[in-house]
């Protein structure tokens, strides 16, 4: 790597230090605490995602014996480091080491690449790692003219395996085969005539065997869940589409997004690396078009298209390196992009930990803090201890806790129940309790007790009367705890006792 190697070492050291600092200052989000249940109750498939996230978390936490945020985040931080090195390698291979370095700068500056998929306990980090590995293998296969047929065949096999592992993290990584096959159709049709291509495809299917087996034994519930998220029966909603684009603009970092547009597309026809650019587009466009189409009819999430921006970042880096720009201009682009990311991180940590009160509703105690996204990551450790003390004080710490939704049930599972004798059960519609439908069985099934506790968290307002009045004769609120941030109320925890079976 030469000089760029020293730059890379410095950049990675700083990013690792920043992420380890975030481990200290950022509690788990609701999704993160939920995915930890994958490791605690490992299965070969889950309601929401395939097995990879649960398997990796189970290994790094030693079956959840190492209950500390450091071990929760470690696999995703590690995956991010490897991904960053591979981005440099891919950019250098497709163009030159300067391109590789620019790609790393843009990649690191992306909120999705560095934080969402590079820090948070989410399937995206593992999928992105295998996505980049697959893309590098595909680039070697299509772009390296010095390889023997046997070596090219081996690359196809490894590509198939990498895609399979990516799909074992999130199923939509199957779009990698769409990009690969599309590029082969236009530029290297003989690929389809080799046995290696079909064997690679077979290897990609192997990680899906647990998914098929699990779904076959569970009424194909996973596919039904995702089918309900991609239909067009809700009608045309252009506002969802524009919300998705705005989210991508922010998640990828506005400076990085603009760099992709300017240097990846405006200068597309002026570059010497036409084949490389087309190759990258084949691995980006299918996912973008699919999610954008869905967004015209359904509410989508900006991080769904996150992996598609990785090849686009390489595309922008090629444009940056290929243009006759003053070196200071490039440094300014990178500096602004990285500075924006740092501002977002510092602002986010400050907002979560120190904003006085709540940015959500402040009308009643039942809905206090509603729509305040910062509360997903604020104060759960302290509140868990306070709730535990209150349950013990009222001698409720041996009763089951009912939850009608996977959030905030998973947060209570992480921050409350380890301090008491309570066990949480998801009781209700499977579309709301998600994996708890199976966790209930792994916890021995619903107990025969005629009493249960229900905890309502005001930023996710819920009424146990609505969900459990058919099961219990009496439902009463015994107590409420108020949580403060910077001296002002931010939300309430309401403790209900439900007893007397109907």
| Domain end point (choices 334, 349, 364) | 349
pLDDT bracket for residue 180 (50, 70, 90): very high
Same domain, yes or no: 424 and 329: no
CA distance 149 to 273: 24
pLDDT tier at 328, thresholds 50, 70, 90 = low
Tell me what the pLDDT averaged over the chain comes to.
92
Residues 315, 378, single domain; the answer is no
pLDDT tens column, 47-75? 999 999 999 999 999 999 999 999 999 99
54 found inside a domain: yes
Cα 281 to chain centroid distance, Å, stands at 23
- Evaluate whether residue 493 is within a structural domain: yes
**One domain, residues 386 and 491:** yes
CA-CA distance, 253 to 432, in Å (whole number)? Answer: 32
Position 381 in a domain: yes
Same domain, 83 and 141: yes
Pairing between β-strand 451-457 and β-strand 472-485 as defined by DSSP bridges: unpaired
Question: What is the layout of strands, in order, in the sheet containing 451-457?
Answer: 424-426, 401-403, 451-457, 488-501, 472-485
Distance, CA of 232 to CA of 423 (rounded, Å): 39
Choose the weakest-confidence range: 167-176, 229-238, 388-397.
229-238
The burial of 500, by beta-carbon neighbours within 10 Å (0-12 exposed, 13-18 middle, 19 or more buried), is given as exposed
Q: Is there a single domain that holds both residue 338 and residue 377?
A: no
Whether residue 343 is found in the same domain as residue 400: no
Q: How many domains does the chain have?
A: 2
pLDDT at 502 over 80: no
Residue 332 has pLDDT above 90, yes or no: no
Single residue among 349, 381, 409 that ends a domain in this structure: 349
Instruction: Enumerate helices (H) and strands (E) in the chain, giving the number of each.
Output: 23, 5
Upper half-sphere CA count for residue 247 (Cβ side, 13 Å): 18
> Average pLDDT in the 420-443 region?
95
Distance CA 430, CA 48 (A): 11
Q: What is the largest CA-CA distance in the chain?
A: 77
C-alpha of 356 from chain center? 28
Q: Which of 317, 349, 381 is the last residue of a domain?
A: 349
- Average pLDDT of the segment spanning 319-323: 80
Q: Residue 233 — very low, low, confident or very high, per pLDDT cuts 50/70/90? A: low
Range in 81-95, 240-254, 330-344, 415-429 the model is least confident about: 330-344
406 found inside a domain: yes
Q: Supply φ then ψ for residue 397, to 5 degrees.
A: -80, 0
Using CA atoms, how far apart are residues 103 and 88, in angstroms rounded to an integer?
7
Does residue 305 sit in the same domain as residue 452? no
Alpha-carbon dihedral sign for residues 238, 239, 244, 248: positive
Report pLDDT for 320: 85
Co-location of 427 and 338 in the same domain = no
Which of 232-236, 294-298, 471-475, 493-497 ranks highest by mean pLDDT?
Answer: 493-497
Averaged over 66-90, what is the pLDDT? 96
pLDDT digits (tens, 9 = 90+) for 461-483: 999 999 999 899 999 999 999 99
Whether residue 147 is contained in a domain is answered as yes
Q: For the residues 144-171, what does the mean pLDDT come to?
A: 95
344 and 387 inside one domain: no
* pLDDT-based confidence at residue 354 (cuts at 50, 70, 90): very high
Look at residue 234 and tell me if it is in a domain: no
* Structure confidence at residue 145 (pLDDT): 87
Any domain includes 355: no
Name the percent of the chain lying above pLDDT 70: 95
> Both 221 and 179 in a single domain?
yes
**How high is the pLDDT of residue 62?**
94
- Higher-pLDDT residue of 436 and 275 is 436
| 290 and 394 part of one domain | no
What are the start-end ranges of the E strands in 422-487? 424-426, 451-457, 472-485
- Region 293-303: what's the mean pLDDT? 91
- Residues for the chain: how many in total? 502
Q: What is the pLDDT of residue 283?
A: 97
- The region of weakest confidence among 194-203, 421-430, 443-452 is 443-452
pLDDT the model gives residue 43: 94
The per-residue pLDDT for 455 is: 97
**Do the domain assignments include residue 235?**
no
Show the domain range for 48: 3-229+240-349
Distance (Å) of CA 494 to CA 98, 390, 462, 464, 467: 57, 11, 10, 11, 15
Percent of the chain with pLDDT over 90: 82
**pLDDT value at position 189?**
94
Examine the domain organization and report whether 331 and 411 are in the same domain. no
């Amino acid at each position: 790597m030469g000089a760029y190697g020293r730059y890379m070492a410095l950049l990675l050291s700083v990013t690792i230090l920043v992420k380890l600092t975030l481990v200290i200052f950022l509690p788990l989000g609701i999704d993160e605490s939920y995915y930890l249940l994958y490791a605690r109750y490992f299965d070969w498939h889950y309601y929401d995602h395939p097995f990879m996230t649960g398997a990796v978390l189970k290994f790094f936490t030693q079956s959840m014996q190492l209950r500390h945020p450091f071990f929760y985040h470690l696999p995703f931080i590690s995956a991010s480091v490897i991904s960053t090195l591979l981005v440099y390698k891919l950019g250098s291979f497709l163009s030159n080491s300067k391109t590789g370095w620019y790609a790393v700068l843009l990649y690191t500056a992306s909120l999705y690449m560095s934080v969402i998929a590079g820090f948070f306990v989410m399937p995206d980090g593992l999928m992105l790692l295998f996505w980049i590995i697959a893309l590098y293998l595909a680039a070697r296969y299509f772009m390296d003219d010095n390889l023997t047929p046997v070596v090219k065949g081996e690359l196809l096999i490894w590509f198939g395996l990498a895609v399979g592992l990516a799909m074992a993290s999130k199923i939509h990584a199957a779009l990698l085969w769409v990009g690969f096959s599309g590029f082969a159709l236009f530029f290297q049709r003989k690929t389809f005539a080799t046995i290696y291509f079909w064997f690679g495809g077979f290897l990609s299917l192997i990680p899906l065997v647990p998914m098929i087996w699990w779904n076959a034994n569970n009424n194909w519930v996973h596919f039904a869940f995702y089918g309900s998220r991609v239909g067009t029966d809700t009608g045309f909603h252009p506002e969802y589409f524009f919300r998705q684009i705005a989210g991508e603009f922010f998640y990828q970092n506005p400076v990085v997004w603009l760099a992709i547009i300017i240097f990846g597309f405006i200068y597309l026809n002026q570059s010497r690396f036409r084949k490389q650019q087309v190759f990258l587009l084949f691995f980006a466009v299918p996912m973008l078009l699919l999610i954008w189409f869905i967004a015209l009819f359904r509410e989508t999430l900006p991080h769904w298209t996150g992996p598609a921006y990785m090849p686009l970042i390489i595309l922008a880096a090629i444009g940056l390196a290929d243009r006759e720009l003053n070196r200071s201009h490039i440094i300014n682009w990178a500096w602004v992009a990285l500075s924006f990311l740092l501002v977002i991180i510092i602002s986010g940590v400050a907002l979560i930990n120190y904003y006085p009160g709540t940015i959500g509703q402040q009308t009643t105690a039942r809905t206090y803090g509603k729509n305040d996204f910062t509360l997903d990551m604020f104060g759960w450790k302290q509140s868990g201890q306070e709730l535990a003390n209150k349950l013990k004080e009222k001698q409720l710490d041996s009763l089951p806790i009912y939850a009608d939704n996977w959030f905030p049930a998973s947060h209570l599972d992480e921050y409350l129940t380890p301090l008491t004798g309570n066990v949480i059960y998801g009781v209700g519609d499977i579309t709301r309790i998600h994996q708890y439908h199976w966790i209930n069985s792994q916890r021995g099934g619903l107990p025969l007790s005629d009493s249960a506790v229900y905890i309502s968290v005001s930023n996710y307002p819920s009424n146990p009367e609505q969900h459990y009045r058919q099961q219990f004769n009496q439902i009463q609120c015994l107590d409420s705890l108020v949580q403060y941030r910077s001296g002002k109320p931010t939300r309430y925890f309401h403790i209900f006792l439900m007893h007397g079976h109907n």
